[in-house]
Structure 1
Amino acid sequence: MPMGKRDREPSVDAADATAPAAATAASANGPPELPTADALNHYLDQLARISVSKRRLRDSDLEGLRELAAAAADRGTALRALIAEYLTSACRVWADLPGARQARDHEGLAEVVSALMRAVGDATVALTEGYETAHRAAIRGEEATRREFVDDLLDGRTDLGRLAERAERFGLRLVGPHAVTVARATKPFSAGDGATRYVEEALTARFSARDVLITTKDGLLVCVYPGPVAEVPPFFTTTVRNAVGEQYQVAVSRLRPGPSGIVRSYQEARSTLDLAARLGLTTEVVDASDVLVFQVLGRDRAAITDLVAIVLGGLEGARGGPQALLETLTAYFASGCLNTTTARRLGLSVRTVTYRLSRIRQLTGYDPTDPDQRYILQTATLGARLLGWPSRPLQPAD
């Protein structure tokens, strides 16, 4: 509903045009170069009529003011300058308005002033509404343009040369190597939410806006940054922690050159997060380089499934199942194949670890203490983690 429409008095109509064009003439004292001169003259004419009729501005006049303010916003005119021009013009002419000159006493003059104040107030509100509407539309348009650019950047759906040109509009330089860091939290990130704004403001305050791009995609918080700025990932992680205050995980890609490298780095960071979830990794930050071996193994699922079944399948014959022996293998390889360190990690005695390693050799036919056979066992153990075995049964390849 337009401002002032409710409980409105009868509006000005053509029958009220008893006032001379004094207001129009008075407005000539204003800056003639203003692009809104015609609309300003029309508004002052309305004030002249209102000074006689004591009625309110018509809805059509208010809507015209809203449109005028929207056009001023599109031209970049400041709202304060627009309103100041209207208020100054009204103050300049009001004493010469016919209603003010015809008032015979203070009571009559007060009635004229009240009507004019009401009209000026309605006009000011209408100007503000029109300006703010245009401003919101401009913001939405800019956000849509930025969203389209981000999607093209991360999905690699457009010409790279054109993409680099568009990046300049958002203050991002795509020359040189870049990396991508992504964060996933319990509550998905979205554009404009509190957590996203907090991280973006912190990153752009700490680094240059030309060095980092903060955006969201598919519920993830994404940070694109140039390779030389190595302190971005730890600062990003700390800021995410402060913003969400809940369970989250961050993945860091490897450096790659050019816009196409950003696409690959983004995909790598996303797949690293997904892989970390599959492996049950609980570390705060997962570097893509640290899980590269799992990426390689996962590219041929049929082969790794066969390897786990052939090499580790015999562990299912152990009393209580293969889980304890598999955990021993994992800790053994992680400790550099040292029995004492393995025992300390598992909270067992060295004798127990030695027994378990011997039992693994008996059940699988592969000796973890033999350097020639160790690699096969270690690869199969990594594959078991990737496949979630033995918690999930092995699915034969098609």
Structure 2
Amino acid sequence: MSSSCRTLTRAERESRRVLGEQAAASGLGLRELTAAHLAAARRAWPQLPGVVGARDAAELRQVGSAVLGALESGIAALAEGHDRAQRHAVHRAEAERRAFVDDLLYGRSDPGRIAEQAERYGLRLADRHLVAVSTAPEGEAYDTRHPLLRRVERELAGRFGDHDALITPKDGRLVCITPTSQRAVLDAFVKLTSRPETPELPAPSSGSAPVSAQRVAVSRPHSGAPGVVRSYEEALSALDLAARLGLTAPVLNAADLVVFPVLLRDRAAMADLIRSVLGPLERARGGAEPLLETIRAYAAVGYVNAEAARHLDLSVRALSYRLERITALTGFDPDDALQRYTLETAALGARLLDWPARPL
């Protein structure tokens, strides 16, 4: 090449790319690879035929220019092959991680195999674990390139060092799996992703579209690989309930919402309760919605008239009239301790089943 002053052929450049891939596979970094290539060129320079046979300085400069051009092309091909191998390795690792996360969260594989794989990601599934699931702001979805994921990973690593939490995007949300012994890591994840500085939105009126807000749901602790699946489902269920009930709290604990799955377990019984207790409200002027919202607001403020009136933007007198209408139509008095519980439970069920917007 030094004698012919030609450039590298396509086959020669491809051979350099293959060498770059092989170097990456063997763990050799690009800097070391480039340095070794340049050192070999420097050692070979004095013995190159074109250099030895050069008749004058002009011919030597021509040879040098050709050799440097070939060297530049060869190093570029080496770097391209090295980068190609690195990208393939990253994509392969990401695919393996996604497959593991799917198997872990959905229980699709043998628990023993899952436990063995989990150790590669710092999880010991014999422990009890908590799962937190964070929703993204409206119009966004979390993925591996989202800046919040990088910020969370960076801050948790800075605060806790080598921790055992697994943080991963899943279906547009962020998921954090931690052993109960490292609850502080999960609490930090919740704080970083819930954005408590965002002001809470007012609860929607009955029948309106649920509030779409960024929030985090935290499961109860469970053991083993099946426990992670259960915890994940609990967190997702808490997010679903929050949307259906119009809850605005940025952090939801599954333990605080455990009563709602119980209420929905017998849907037929709940529907019967709603029909028998709240059905008569549909005969009211303006329909059931205003009186149903009155029951919810009255319960939400601890059955304090002035607070409920303020919440509903009514006068205390107007609120009292509504309460009288509720009692007259349903036969249940919101000021009676036992009867108010029946009304409140039926009102919660109505929100869960989207009654009266959806017939029972």
TM range (shorter): 0.7 to 0.9
Identical-pair percentage: 50
Aligned CA RMSD, in angstroms, stands at 2.4
- Alignment correspondent of 2:192: 239
Gaps of at least 5 residues in structure 1 are: 1-49
Tell me the secondary structure at the aligned position of residue 191 of structure 1. coil
Q: Deviation per CA, 1:82-105: give whole Å up to 9, x if none.
A: 222221111012112111111110
Structure 1 counterpart of 2:130, from 174, 179, 182: 179
- Offset, 1:351: 4.2
Change in 2 beyond 3 A, CA 1:298/1:203? farther
Matches within 5 A, 1:5-154: 50-154=1-105
Note if 1:394 corresponds to 2:359.
Answer: yes
Check the 8 A contact 2:215/2:250 in 1, yes or no. yes
Q: Structure 2: which amino acid aligns with 1:288?
A: A
Q: Structure 2: which amino acid aligns with 1:230?
A: R
Q: Which structure has the higher relative contact order (CA within 8 Å, separation 6+)?
A: 2
Matches within 5 A, 1:192-231: 192-231=145-184
- Alignment correspondent of 1:6: none
Tell me the secondary structure at the aligned position of residue 52 of structure 1. coil
- Alignment correspondent of 2:267: 301
Distance in 2, Cα, partners of 1:129 & 1:340? 72
Q: Deviation per CA, 1:58-114: give whole Å up to 9, x if none.
A: 211111111112111111122222222221111012112111111110001111111
Distance in 1, Cα, partners of 2:181 & 2:51? 71
Change in 2 beyond 3 A, CA 1:194/1:341? closer
Q: TM-score, normalized by length of structure 2? A: 0.88
- Alignment correspondent of 2:225: 259
Check the 8 A contact 2:16/2:81 in 1, yes or no. yes
Distance in 2, Cα, partners of 1:167 & 1:321? 55
- Offset, 1:279: 1.6
Structure 1 counterpart of 2:280, from 288, 308, 314: 314
Q: Deviation per CA, 1:150-180: give whole Å up to 9, x if none.
A: 1111111112222122111122232322111
Change in 2 beyond 3 A, CA 1:251/1:329? same
- Offset, 1:317: 1.8
Distance in 1, Cα, partners of 2:338 & 2:37? 89
Check the 8 A contact 1:173/1:210 in 2, yes or no. no
Structure 1 counterpart of 2:238, from 269, 272, 275: 272
Check the 8 A contact 1:211/1:225 in 2, yes or no. yes
Change in 2 beyond 3 A, CA 1:209/1:224? farther
Q: Structure 2: which amino acid aligns with 1:220?
A: R
Distance in 1, Cα, partners of 2:194 & 2:221? 24
Q: Deviation per CA, 1:164-223: give whole Å up to 9, x if none.
A: 221111222323221111122221112223333233333333334533211111111111
Q: Structure 2: which amino acid aligns with 1:229?
A: Q
- Offset, 1:233: 4.7
Change in 2 beyond 3 A, CA 1:384/1:208? farther
- Offset, 1:272: 1.3
Note if 1:365 corresponds to 2:318.
Answer: no
Mean Cα deviation higher: 91-100 or 288-297: 288-297
Distance in 2, Cα, partners of 1:298 & 1:72? 60
Q: Structure 2: which amino acid aligns with 1:71?
A: Q
Q: TM-score, normalized by length of structure 1? A: 0.80
Tell me the secondary structure at the aligned position of residue 151 of structure 1. helix
Note if 1:380 corresponds to 2:331.
Answer: no
Mean Cα deviation higher: 230-239 or 274-283: 230-239
Tell me the secondary structure at the aligned position of residue 178 of structure 1. strand
Gaps of at least 5 residues in structure 2 are: 199-211
Structure 1 counterpart of 2:298, from 316, 329, 332: 332
Distance in 2, Cα, partners of 1:221 & 1:202? 15
Tell me the secondary structure at the aligned position of residue 230 of structure 1. helix
- Alignment correspondent of 1:323: 289
- Alignment correspondent of 1:24: none
